[in-house]
Amino acid sequence: MSNSARRQLGTTGVQISTIGLGCMGMSEFYGKADDAASTALLHHALDVGMNFFDTADIYGPHTNERLVGAALRDRRDEAVIATKFGIMRDENGGWLGTNGKPDYVRACCDASLERLGIDTIDLYYQHRVDSDTPIEETVGAMADLVTAGKVRFLGLSEATPEQIRRAHAVHPITALQTEYSLWSRDPEAELLDTCKELGITFVAYSPLGRGFLTGAISSPEDFAPDDFRRHNPRFQGENFQKNVDLVNAVRGLAADKSVTPAQLALAWLLHQGQHIVAIPGTTKRSRFDENIAANNVVLTDEDLAYLDKHLPVGAAAGGRY
């Protein structure tokens, strides 16, 4: 593989980068935003052949799509842009629950198109399933957006195998986005196989364990005061130390292979199936270049067995949220 390594998006024939770019942190959650630096990074990503970009209406809130759209729209044909709807927030960032009602789907799509400044969204995800609205109704409304030419392909995020099958029966689901990494291996129980069976690309978010698997975090004090990880169960108290111990196993093997812990963690993910891609987020060009170089890391059966032994399913201490 190379920096511009690609895998097929679902069964569409469209090729996307095996390692894309999660853009959320450019606007919120991980410390202060720098739009100029983020724009330069988005341009750099295109320059090196990376084409898969992930945003959502709520990131910012409501500012990340503008940032991503402004950076990419002059080179629209080079970018596959994914965005999401379904989680509601007010302008001050307050959380207002989920909504999958058809009228809301249509309104969100139009708003996202306006913020992105584009005619068509390549991949449109339901960000979280709305327990009060049958998924068939939500996906039916999403399918209408495809018919209208506003959306090319449909996705779900954090959905169960049963929800995926019900949605897929209404209109082909092209991608499922769910947290997956060496320290969040829950999707291996059933989700990965469900996606493989149905021809759905599995898009792994937080593939570096929210930064933990980079080996760069040694203390909760490493976070900025407004970084949400300060309040995440896995980054607190006894959990923190137990999780540091897990990362040391990754760090050891990475050193043996002359790669970084982040590159090892991303390479492991890509070895779990040809239908899997990752979208690590970063705001730093050096980190971005480090991440996409993981395409070139080859893992042996022994390497994979070592990681299975030291970071088995359920190894991480603390809840995901």
Dihedral angle computed from the Cα positions of residues 263, 267, 270 and 271, in that order, rounded to the nearest 10 degrees? -170
How many Å apart are CA 290 and CA 213, to the nearest integer? 13
Please give the helix or strand (H or E) that residue 96 lies within, else none. Answer: strand 95-98
- State whether residue 245 is helix, strand or coil: helix
How many CB atoms are located within 10 Å of the residue 179 CB?
18
Strands 15-17 and 21-22: unpaired
Please provide the distance, in angstroms rounded to a whole number, between the alpha carbons at the two ends of the chain: 34
**Catalytic option among 59, 125, 180, 205:** 59
How many Å apart are CA 91 and CA 315, to the nearest integer? 37
Nearest residue to 23 (alpha-carbon basis) of 48, 45, 55, 52: 55
Dihedral angle computed from the Cα positions of residues 29, 34, 36 and 38, in that order, rounded to the nearest 10 degrees? -30
- For helices 261-270 and 285-292, the axis angle rounded to 10 degrees is 40
- Name the burial class of residue 81, with classes exposed (0-12), middle (13-18) and buried (19+) by CB atoms within 10 angstroms of its CB: buried
What b/e string do you get for 216-244 counting C-beta neighbours within 10 Å, with b at 16 or more?
ebeeeeebeeebebeebebbeeebbeebe
Known catalytic residue at 180: no
Give whole-number Cα distances, 300 to 252, 267, 268, 271, 304, in Å: 15, 11, 10, 10, 6
Q: Which two tokens stand for residue 238?
A: 């006894």
Among all residues, which ones are annotated catalytic? 59
